[in-house]
Amino acid sequence: MKAPAFDYIRPSGLAEVFKLLATHGDDARLLAGGQTLLATLNMRLSEPAVLIDINGIAALSGISVQGGKLRIGALSRHTEIEDSALVAQHAPLLAMAVPHIAHRAIRNLGTFGGSLAYADPAAEWPACAMALEADIIVQGASGERRIAAADFFVDILTTSLQPGEVLVACEIPMHQAGWQYAFDELARRHGDYAIVGLAVAARLDGALLADTRLSFLGVGNTPLRARRTEAVLNGRALDATSIDDAAAMLATELTGEHEPMADLTNSSATKRHMATVLLRRQLAKISA
């Protein structure tokens, strides 16, 4: 199918974007990499009257270290993150996750901000932002807001972005000594959206886990921090017993309100099992 007709505007600054959003309201959509938006237009899942192309706005670009945080501009392409020495040094979890996002051609166009704003529960960046306890920086006509990742992802494809606001950047605490990371996912084929994935960030104090963050994708309506399972691990060494205990807790935690969302080919029980398999594998990597 073809996209419905729309007007196309390419502003050069954020002030102009805010004016356009105020004028067109829900009839307008921001266009970043277009890797999700254009597909939804072609499938007529969305019929905005106006596309506001934000690709010409320099303030949304760039990866830098600012104020002790790694700042990733919203327009940073997935491949820029993949190729960035700053990301490899200061946010190694992102470097581990990025090869799992689609294929290189899509990664060349898709953006970090577009992925966070779209908030697909099976996407890699939202889960990494939760594991790293990143802040999402949004801006509107009345100023800037800084939102903790845990408060940003509200529901399936829903964030706490308000009408008229643009996601401008994400700020990530930089890697410190003692932290270890692991990322993996189970997908039907490499490059497909994950069925279930897991981003791990863990601080070790000597041999003991001091701060464990387990952020699952593809399990809930938003990325899911398995906080009860994290609590089982904190204060303990990673060994066969603590890994068994964590896997048992995760199987319990992923019930009730955290029952995994079934999809067309995977029941919630299958996804729960996949989550425990990923947990065991990732913890084994951390402990290795």
Ligand X SMILES: Cc1cc2nc3c(=O)[nH]c(=O)nc-3n(C[C@H](O)[C@H](O)[C@H](O)COP(=O)(O)OP(=O)(O)OC[C@H]3O[C@@H](n4cnc5c(N)ncnc54)[C@H](O)[C@@H]3O)c2cc1C
Residues that bind ligand X (CB under 6 A): 29-37, 39, 74, 101-102, 106, 110-111, 113-115, 117-118, 123-124, 161, 166-167, 193
C-beta of 92 vs 164, nearer to ligand X: 164
CB atoms within 10 A of CB 252: 12
- Alpha carbon 43 to its chain centroid, in Å, reads 24
Rounded CA separation 173/188 (Å):
32
- The least CB distance from residue 232 to ligand X, in Å, is 29
Rounded CA separation 12/17 (Å):
8
C-beta of 22 vs 284, nearer to ligand X: 22
Contact at 8 Å (CB) between 59 and 138? no
Instruction: Return the residue matching tokens 């079934």.
Output: 262
C-beta of 43 vs 248, nearer to ligand X: 43
How far is residue 99 from each of residues 78, 96, 280, measured CA to CA in Å?
Answer: 9, 7, 21
- The least CB distance from residue 225 to ligand X, in Å, is 18
C-beta of 110 vs 223, nearer to ligand X: 110
- The least CB distance from residue 129 to ligand X, in Å, is 12
Instruction: Return the residue matching tokens 């974007």.
Output: 17
Measured at CB, which residue is nearest to ligand X? Answer: 110
Instruction: Return the residue matching tokens 């996601």.
Output: 167
- Please give the DSSP secondary-structure letter assigned to residue 195: S
- The least CB distance from residue 206 to ligand X, in Å, is 36
C-beta of 212 vs 215, nearer to ligand X: 215
- The least CB distance from residue 48 to ligand X, in Å, is 8
